[in-house]
Amino acid sequence: MRLKIVSVGEPSLRTTSQLLSKEQILSPLIQNLIEYMRDTLRDAPGVGLAAPQVGESLQLAIIEDKAEYQTTLTATELGERERKPIPFHVLINPEIELLSPPDVSFFEGCLSLPGFVAMVPRARSVKVRALNENGQPIEIEAEGWYARILQHEIDHLRGTLYIDRMWSRSFSSVDHHSRHWKSKPTAELVTNFRPRP
């Protein structure tokens, strides 16, 4: 079952989501929600989806970055982004610790702001403690693109969107990004878009 992805302006995208108890996590309601979110993410397609994006103010997010999503990137682009396939997994009640300063910037998009992208500074490495879909504790240490996805999705659970962190000069339609910026080296993008004093 596919769920409707809400867009910017929806109240669920701007509130801090509710924590889930183990009993709630194991309930048919949440187990079904996880499956429906998985179907929705793959249908979109995207690499992450948080419950607030489907109108549910719950501390729940899913992540999956399939190898097939990366086929349009060159080996150089994949290396620069430190991007590798990530299997499907669930994060509930996550707590994130930045292990490096938020000084790595790349273009990000969001299923709740369709058609646009912008450069967002993120930490290169993070540690996340959360519960999985069985209510069991998990700990993740991630770098590169995986760390970026984690930061993006966990932001959603706190009512924060990438546009709150973006370099505003870089905000672009997907079409213009593809036409003018997609193939540019990161150093050039940083020079063009870093906020000016």
Long-range CB contacts (within 8 A, 24+) of 66-75:
69/45
Amino acid identity at 9: G
72, with CB counted inside 10 A (0-12, 13-18, 19+), is: exposed
- Write the CA distances from 180 to 41, 79, 113, 174, integer angstroms: 28, 21, 20, 10
pLDDT of residue 95: 98
% of the chain residues with pLDDT over 70? 100
32 pLDDT tier (thresholds 50, 70, 90): very high
Quick check: 126 pLDDT over 90?
A: yes
Report how far residue 176's alpha carbon sits from residue 153's, in angstroms, rounded to the nearest whole number.
25
What pLDDT digit, counting tens, does each position of 83-120 carry?
Answer: 999 999 999 999 999 999 999 999 999 999 999 999 99
Amino acid identity at 108: E
Amino acid identity at 178: S
pLDDT of residue 185: 87
Catalytic residue among 56, 64, 108, 153: 153
Closest Cα partner for 66 from 48, 50, 86, 80? 86
Fold of the domain built from segment(s) 11-193: Peptide Deformylase (3.90.45)
Residue ranges per structural domain of the chain: 11-193
- Write the CA distances from 148 to 21, 28, 51, 61, 121, integer angstroms: 27, 31, 18, 14, 9
Tell me if residue 153 is catalytic: yes
DSSP state of 177: I
